[in-house]
Amino acid sequence: MYGLGLIKGLGITLKNILFFQRINTTQYPDRKASIIDLAKLDNKNFISYAFTNPMKTLKSMMGMIVISDKVDQHPRFRGEEFSWYEERCTGCASCAKFCPLGIIKIVTDQTGKNYAEGQNYDIETFDIDIGRCMFCGLCVEACPYDALHMGSGFEEGQYKRNDLVIDVERLKKAEKKPSHWFRPHLEQKDNYSPFDEEIAWDKAGRHQKPSNKDLKNKWIRK
């Protein structure tokens, strides 16, 4: 870095020191559009575009026009933003058992009645350490009730390693936009895209979570 670039870099460093704020990366951020970018979007060369659109040309030269810089992404993309449906989860911990790196931690609390076999559980802890995750998707494949899905995001930069652990509260608040990965029923849904819309828990799985009545009828001997 030489000349003005060095001065600009030092200025940004000084600004970050004096006015520190936590910066979160944004997936596909908008960027300033040049006259060449606008001409490409309009399928024209930049000279003819400048003559036919003088105001937009002037605004682009002043940095007043931004465009969305988005790359096409496959709906089966295995991202780091997991989609978890509490309504579908039974606390069986199959995802944690099948994780080859052991980065999923689940702690359950027994609630309700004690059945002859089987229990009804509340999820107290559900941690996923994406700092060590290799996004193999085995946890999603192992889930018997389609409660856990891969997400579609991939930008999760943090300043601390502990912030890379997704806890149960963060999973609850996360957007419910499951990827098509190992979910053929989502792929077959008409016009469903994990990048555009959320999907409800009762539409996200192939199976329904068993009710207490169903468990009682199945496991308690009469």
What tens digit of pLDDT does each residue of 80-136 get?
779 999 888 888 899 999 999 999 999 987 765 544 445 567 788 999 999 899 999
| The predicted structure's pLDDT at residue 24 | 47
How many structural domains compose the chain? 2
| The predicted structure's pLDDT at residue 143 | 92
Q: Report the CATH number at residue 162.
A: 3.30.70.3270
In a shared domain, residues 101 and 198: yes
φ, ψ of residue 110 to 5 degrees: the values are -75, 130
| The predicted structure's pLDDT at residue 85 | 92
In a shared domain, residues 114 and 199: yes
**Which residues are CB-neighbours of 75 under 8 A, at least 6 positions away?**
152, 179, 180, 187, 193, 194, 195
| The predicted structure's pLDDT at residue 123 | 86
In a shared domain, residues 94 and 185: yes
* pLDDT single digits (tens) 124-135: 899 999 989 999
In a shared domain, residues 105 and 190: yes
In a shared domain, residues 163 and 193: yes
* Average pLDDT estimate for 145-164: 84
- How many Å apart are CA 60 and CA 217, to the nearest integer? 68
In a shared domain, residues 128 and 145: yes
In a shared domain, residues 126 and 164: yes
Which residue in this structure is represented by tokens 């659109």?
53
| The predicted structure's pLDDT at residue 209 | 61
In a shared domain, residues 122 and 197: yes
In a shared domain, residues 123 and 157: yes
Residue 166: Cβ-neighbour burial (10 angstroms; 0-12, 13-18, 19+): buried
In a domain, residue 14? The reply is no
In a shared domain, residues 180 and 157: yes
| The predicted structure's pLDDT at residue 63 | 80
* pLDDT single digits (tens) 166-185: 999 999 998 888 988 888 88
Given 15, 49, 71, which residue is the final one in a domain?
Answer: 71
The model carries a pTM of 0.62
* pLDDT single digits (tens) 42-52: 888 888 888 89
In a shared domain, residues 50 and 148: no
Under DSSP, is residue 10 helix (H, G, I), strand (E, B) or coil?
A: helix
* pLDDT single digits (tens) 3-60: 777 887 788 788 777 765 555 445 556 778 888 888 888 888 888 888 899 898 888 8
**Which residues are CB-neighbours of 183 under 8 A, at least 6 positions away?**
140, 146, 149, 204
In a shared domain, residues 41 and 140: no
In a domain, residue 18? The reply is no
* Average pLDDT estimate for 151-167: 83
In a domain, residue 198? The reply is yes
Domain that residue 211 falls in: 79-216
| The predicted structure's pLDDT at residue 2 | 64
In a domain, residue 192? The reply is yes
CA distances to 39, 51, 141 from 36, rounded to whole Å, are 5, 13, 46
